[in-house]
A = this chain, B = another copy of it.
Amino acid sequence: MPLRDLASGLAYCAINTATLGFQAPIAATIEAVARAGFGGIAPWRREIEGQDAAAIGRHIRDAGLVVTGYCRSSFIPAANRAVFDANVADNMRALEDAAALGAHHFVMVVGGLPQGSRDLAAARRQVAEGCGRLAVRARNLGVRLALEPLHPVYAADRSCLNLLSQALDLCDALEGETANPWVGTAIDVYHVWWDPNLAASIARAGQTRRIFGFHVCDWLVPTEDPLNDRGMMGDGVIDLPEIRAMVEKAGYSGLIEAEIFSARNWWRRPIADTLEVCRQRFATSC
């Protein structure tokens, strides 16, 4: 099965609004993304909360876009039980907005070590428990839960879920094997490209139908800041066509989403320019 042609298939491509540096209100961003010809958008909570999520969802659909992932969970692990419960509750509220938006899935960035802790295993147990609670609510709301394993460089402060295989183990623990899973993964090339077990893990994710989202960007050499110095597709060292081939061969037919945190470059450019370069690079470099 050949790869989907992204040059003539911009409808397969989505823009994560973080790529545009949050320079415009969500309404203007929706219009810009639709005008540029993309098929989907992934908004962030900072753009939605305090507003009418259902109305924004209608705006997105009326513009001809789908909502891929709604970004994202706040961190789950906490130094005590009360804060843990509050963290879970915060994400419960976000799930309601995900449903109101009509998002395909809610992106889980699970959090790292609580302040003062060195107990990574305990943080991972808290993540499993919190995700378990959220998964029940998500399913009731009709929102899929997409666990996003993050690069190990973030293990301390952003996510103790660091391998795709680890995320899939958690999916299995939460839901068991099922023909129609509601708990799956968001696979971001930035986080997983280095993994020597990547091909096997992607194949496994496909077999269990747990690829809910697929994000692209690039790894720059050198990387000035592991958080906010991501590259545009084609500007770094990740073999994007190879990883996309793994993902599509595994049965993924959803949108391919550009998510580029780039404080020194793309966030400083006009939105329309960045969208145009994304369009070109989806065609030539993914």
**A residues neighboring B (CB under 8 Å):** 113, 117-120, 124, 151-153, 155-157, 160, 162-163, 166, 193-197, 219, 221-223, 226, 236-239
Closest to A169 in B: B196
- Interface contact A196-B162, CB-CB below 8 Å: yes
**Number of copies of this protein chain within its complex:** 2
- Interface contact A237-B117, CB-CB below 8 Å: yes
**Bound complex: CA A239 to CA B236 (Å):** 34
Least distance between A258 CB and chain B CB atoms (Å) = 18
- Interface contact A156-B219, CB-CB below 8 Å: yes
- Interface contact B118-A239, CB-CB below 8 Å: yes
Name 10 A/B residue pairs within 8 A (Cβ), A-sorted: A117-B237, A118-B237, A118-B239, A152-B194, A153-B226, A156-B194, A157-B222, A162-B196, A166-B196, A226-B226
A113, A194, A196, A237 interface centre (most CB from chain B within 10 Å): A196
- Interface contact A162-B194, CB-CB below 8 Å: yes
Chain B residues in 8 Å Cβ range of A113: 221, 237
Closest to A161 in B: B196
Chain B residues in 8 Å Cβ range of A117: 237
Least distance between A112 CB and chain B CB atoms (Å) = 8
Which of B124, B157, B221, B239 lies in contact with A196, CB distance below 8 A? B124
- Interface contact A195-B152, CB-CB below 8 Å: yes
Least distance between A31 CB and chain B CB atoms (Å) = 35
